[in-house]
Structure 1
């Protein structure tokens, strides 16, 4: 098996973060990739400790030692369970900058975080730290929501036919090489409500709807052919409506366990990740989410 590339998982030792590390170990075993597991003690935590107890207090070294031991125990446990050797990485400072620095040092192919966490990991996924990390990184980010029991089985890849869509399919194939692929796109009749208001008859609007669906289906088929997806290993999912709502509906209806989104939309200035689609999928969906960041 040809290794995909280094995987970097981050943990704050919470339960959800443990799921993320376990999934990262599963992927490392499946893809033949190396795995590093990183814990960052936030700089503000150390600053607060020093403010109350003074610089050089024994509690600071005790905290560092406890974190190292807990990280090593976690690495040993997932390594044994998944038959891999994982590397622990313990550091202090800005969580965002330390993750970026380590990702760059490893040239990581994938960053893995938990969907919920305690302390900095919760802020990392749900707050401004997450937005800054995901806006700046050029590395795919996997947000883990579920306890991993098996390799991903069915992956929904959301397409908008921007230059990022083909890369989203490629990343999905790396992360879930054995999974059945659902290529999803949502279409809408341009100015549908306005056409009705303007008195355009329903037959004409229906004609536009049929044409929009046919165009979207053709583009999905073309992208699948371009990506080299084999017959029987993928299916098209072309639905009418607003994309974020339809993604959540279809991930459940089609029993998917991973959703893949491209970071950007149809133009370089439209950051889909920070817009309504990804926020809605992360807030309302129930499965893991992989954000592809490369064009």
Structure 2
């Protein structure tokens, strides 16, 4: 991926998509990168229109022209407000295919989407379209839920110390270089309450729990040190419980405005699957979510 490539924002002109485009423009400006705006006309609907009215029908031309004008107005607004170079593209076809094709053509450094939409992005986050996009791209994805009034202030970075964790931390620092980082790790005592029924005494279970917390805390500190983070730049957040649930809780409790996770594959044969934690945060979280699609060698 080209480190000087553009930030690509896909928009259907809905309010959430406008927020996403604004956030993309802010990130592009901060990184000295151009912004690329993409609008995808629904390929199936256009094909039906051609079938009804013929290949050279006026409504299709009108729809395309209107989309270009609307996209150009958005580009002009963002270019003036965020002091960033903006390029526009209107295409037609399956949304995921077109987003991926444009990202490859531009060698985009980041793909940015709104969390909700009125057109082709309507189900992009919570439906299968988002999962297909994340399975098929090697580029990081940012899903924007909030109005971007300012740069990111506090970022919750989910760490499970898999090969994805280091890249998730690196993505957080690229998107939010001035934010306070909260390095999150959740641990669970295997078999939990079942150990009591198996005759394991409470003191032994508590020692087991203490060791799990200590190991996770040390791992967080090692990762922060390896990333070159200074003490003032980050804090540890090590909790017990289900990572999916606790991550959403801490996002709200600590007033974070961005959560960053890895895509999470556990082996080469399932590298293209989304992890359950990532799925849960995309579906249940209330703040912006960035997903790193890279892992350490």
The TM-score bracket by the shorter chain reads over 0.9
Q: 1:122 to 1:95 in 2, by over 3 A?
A: same
Alignment of 1:4-19 (within 5 A): 5-19=5-19
Q: Deviations over 1:2-41 (max 9, x none)?
A: x754210000111111110000001011111111000011
CA contact (8 A) 2:265 2:274 kept: no
Tell me, yes or no, if the aligned pair for 1:161 and 1:266 is still in contact at 8 Å.
no
Q: Secondary structure at the match of 2:182?
A: strand
Residues 152 and 258, structure 1, Cα contact 8 Å, conserved in 2: yes
Distance 1:253 1:84 in 2: 34
Distance 2:271 2:187 in 1: 19
Structure 1 residue ranges, 4+ long, deviating more than 4 angstroms after superposition? 269-273
Question: How has the CA–CA distance of structure 1 residues 4 and 198 changed in structure 2, closer, same or farther, with 3 Å as cutoff?
Answer: farther
Contiguous gaps of at least 5 residues in structure 1: none
Query: What 5-or-longer segments of structure 2 have no aligned partner?
Result: none
Q: Who is 1:122 aligned against?
A: 122
The equivalent residue for 1:255 is 255
Q: Deviations over 1:84-130 (max 9, x none)?
A: 12111111122111111111111111000011111210132222222
Higher mean C-alpha displacement, 44-53 vs 268-277: 268-277
Normalised TM-score (structure 1): 0.95
Q: Per the alignment, in what secondary structure is the counterpart of residue 208 of structure 2?
A: helix
Contact kept? 2:262, 2:292, Cα under 8 Å = yes
Q: Match of 1:80?
A: 80
1:160/1:266 contact within 8 Å kept:
no
SS at match of 1:274: coil
Contact 1:9/1:37 (CA < 8 Å) preserved in 2? Answer: yes
The number of residue pairs the alignment matches comes to: 293
For the aligned residue pairs, the C-alpha RMSD in angstroms reads 1.5
